[in-house]
Amino acid sequence: MHLEEKIAPARRAQRTVARPVITGSSHSFPGTRSSQDDLWQDFFLDHYDGFPLARRIFENSGITSRSTAVDPRAEKEVSGWSTGRRMARYIDEAVPLGKRTVANALESAGLAPQDVGLLAVASCTGYTTPGLDLRLADELGMSSRVQRLFVGHMGCYAAVPSLGAVSDFVASRGRPAVLLCLELTSLHVQPPSRDIEQIVAHALFADAAAAVVLEPDADSGYEVIDVVAVTDHSTADHMSWQITDLGFKMGLSPKVPDVLAQHVGEVVRDQLLAPHGLTPEEVTGWAVHPGGKRILEVVGERLDLPAGALDASYGVLDECGNCSSPTVLMVLQRLPRTDGPVVAMAFGPGLTLYAALLRRS
């Protein structure tokens, strides 16, 4: 049989491209929940030896409370842990947290673990092989044939490109998929210093997991329409996440909001919305990653958003902190359930801006 004769039946059997639709979602937190004031008074006050600027950074963070896998008030030696010890703790904490989050998301979609064709996991705060994706597939009882994807070290914006990859799988294969974003930034408390970027990181970041389930051609939910990105390579040093002997160390320049201000309007208006005949005024929901108060202010100003448009983002920042990659999915889950176009947007190392266009039906 000639090659063309072999290929022809496969071509005839090819399915049409399906619409990837988010039909289920969930988010979860590790066991320790603390107020920002208590974290400052009971640990970081001594950690920074009462440094007045550190106190002001904590007080002006826009955060009331956070959840963490590691409570530095109870495990005060965490800043001296080796990277190996932190990675061992990552697996101990991440597996049950991820299992609970994915199971709840599948339940909300009315699916069983065996229905999943692809499990994608995004995380930049821990590594192991066998990976978290494989361990969770086993713990959840997914098929031995389930496909898996691990997305690592992309930082806060990882949820959006991961959503794009998972959507492409659903569209082309016509099978359900799950995306889990899970971060345990509390594992990476660094030794005391007067490094302002490190103080800001300790004041902002928290732990969480968020999952979404996507199905082909579902009748209701958020259909994923498009994903776009821009990277300003000239500012790559503005955000970093370096592996050291004492865990992962963040670099976070105060210039980040200024760089985002240069790009957010063009990315959203010209790259994401205009090709679909839309303007920001027609968007019914904004799920913007709350990297900090100033970042949200910049997005609101540059897109001329109406009052209240970013309430979900400010609410997540206030109640949960910046949880890295799960955060934008948590904001999306908090949006009012109104029909129409929705924009999900996140930022991270690169300096990179990713945005997705969704439509609720």
Q: E strands within the chain?
A: 20-28, 32-35, 65-68, 118-123, 147-152, 177-184, 207-216, 222-231, 239-244, 247-252, 285-288, 340-348, 352-360
Between CA 175 and CA 118 the distance in angstroms is 8
Q: What is the dihedral of CA 165, 170, 171, 174, to 10 degrees?
A: 160
The pair of three-digit structure tokens given for residue 282, joined into one six-digit string: 């027609």
CB atoms within 10 A of CB 42: 16
Annotation says 181 is catalytic:
no
Q: Radius of gyration of the chain from Cα atoms?
A: 21
Q: Are 94 and 182 in contact (CB under 8 A)?
A: yes
Find the angle CA(319)-CA(321)-CA(322) to the nearest 5 degrees. Answer: 145
| Set 156, 181, 320, 323: catalytic member | 156
3-state per-residue secondary structure call for 175-196: CCEEEEEEEEHHHHCCCCCCCH
DSSP 16: P
CB atoms within 10 A of CB 33: 15
Start-end of H helices in 65-111? 83-109
Give catalytic residues, as residue numbers: 156
